[in-house]
Amino acid sequence: MSLHVVVGFGPAGAATARLLAEQGHSVRVVTRSGRSPEPGLEHVAFDAADRERLIAAARGATAIHHCAAPPYHRWVRAWPPLVASVCAAAEATGAVLVMLGNLYGYGPVDGPLTEELPLAATGPKGRVRAAAWEQVRTLHEQGRIRAVEVRASDFFGPGVTTGGHLAGRVVPALLRGKPVATLGDPDAPHSWTYLPDVAAAMAEVAGEERAWGRPWHIPTEPPRSVREMADRLAAESGSGPAVVRRIPSAALSLAGLFSPLMRELGEIRYQFDRPFVVDATAYEEAFAVRATPVAEQVTATVDWWRARSAAR
């Protein structure tokens, strides 16, 4: 049994921490505010950008799983000190640094997204995520740390209520029998990464030395449009036919005047205006984790939301 430190306890951090605990590891979770006790998890409260405290918390750890995500509109300022801190902790302790990344760093591309594409983002959030990986990769190549990044598309599934277009906007509306308002083309193919598959990949690469030193795309089911996913979720929930409407550009611009989140979405609209397809062939040829079949994803997601509503 080994110690794993998980930084952040949002949906991805929580799923990763709980999976590692189920696998028999000791798990220490770092968040700003701490959490209530939970079987198998030790929660500690401090700002992970405090490198000295993070180094102390990671002493003796096999791996540091970086799953923290600053508020969306604060990425540009908050990411650099956070990444610097987890790198310092990995260097000081010898723990493998497992970074949870996304696909913003590539920027708009034609065709499927592969790990060989250059990090050519032009928007500030994409550039800051690309810079984070370049910093980590450079330290790895210098032999100062051991690190790997796994990259997910928009993720959804049990436990995800915000932070993803499908999870934060489509599912809640459908389960209330409401129309779905979507960014971009509702019929454009789009890759959705299932949260339990994120956790499984984070846990797997931590122990696979041949994974270290490069990014990997998390296994993800074939792309499906917002409309197709809405239809599947509506059929599973019994909420009636899904009504999917595109948010007009003018309405999105107006909402951005009052909502920092809506204002920031302009940078990534390209992901919904045309096909946005992840190629995870490299991961699937090298490792064991596979994408959960979409039928299981939909059933588990609807069941979780129903249980959540009943508990409330």
CATH number at residue 25: 3.40.50.720
| Exposed/middle/buried for residue 301 (C-beta within 10 Å: 0-12, 13-18, 19+) | buried
pLDDT on residue 269: 80
Quick check: is 84 in a domain?
yes
DSSP three-state, residue 204: helix
Residue 6: DSSP 8-state? E
Radius of gyration of the chain measured on its C-alpha atoms: 19
pLDDT on residue 182: 84
In this structure, are 173 and 85 located in the same domain?
no
DSSP three-state, residue 187: coil
In this structure, are 203 and 253 located in the same domain?
no
pLDDT on residue 242: 86
Q: 230 lies in which domain range? A: 160-191+222-276+292-311
pLDDT on residue 161: 86
In this structure, are 146 and 129 located in the same domain?
yes
Q: Walk along the chain (312 residues) in steps of 10 and give the mean pLDDT of each run.
A: 94 97 97 89 97 98 96 89 98 98 95 97 93 98 98 93 74 84 90 97 98 98 94 90 79 57 69 94 98 97 88 75
H/E stretch holding 246 reads strand 244-246
In this structure, are 187 and 197 located in the same domain?
no
What's this model's pTM, rounded to 2 decimal places?
0.94
Q: How many residues does the chain have?
A: 312
In this structure, are 186 and 198 located in the same domain?
no
Quick check: is 286 in a domain?
no
In this structure, are 167 and 123 located in the same domain?
no
Sign of the C-alpha dihedral, residues 74, 206, 10, 119?
positive
Sign of the C-alpha dihedral, residues 150, 153, 156, 162?
positive
Q: What total number of domains does the chain contain?
A: 2
Residue found by looking up tokens 């205006």 in the block? 273
pLDDT on residue 236: 93
pLDDT on residue 49: 97
In this structure, are 148 and 185 located in the same domain?
no
In this structure, are 86 and 211 located in the same domain?
yes
Quick check: is 281 in a domain?
no
In this structure, are 201 and 78 located in the same domain?
yes
Quick check: is 282 in a domain?
no
In this structure, are 183 and 121 located in the same domain?
no
In this structure, are 10 and 147 located in the same domain?
yes
Cβ-Cβ contacts under 8 Å for 240 (sequence gap 6 or more): 177, 234
pLDDT on residue 53: 98
Domain at 253, CATH number: 3.90.25
Quick check: is 285 in a domain?
no
In this structure, are 46 and 123 located in the same domain?
yes
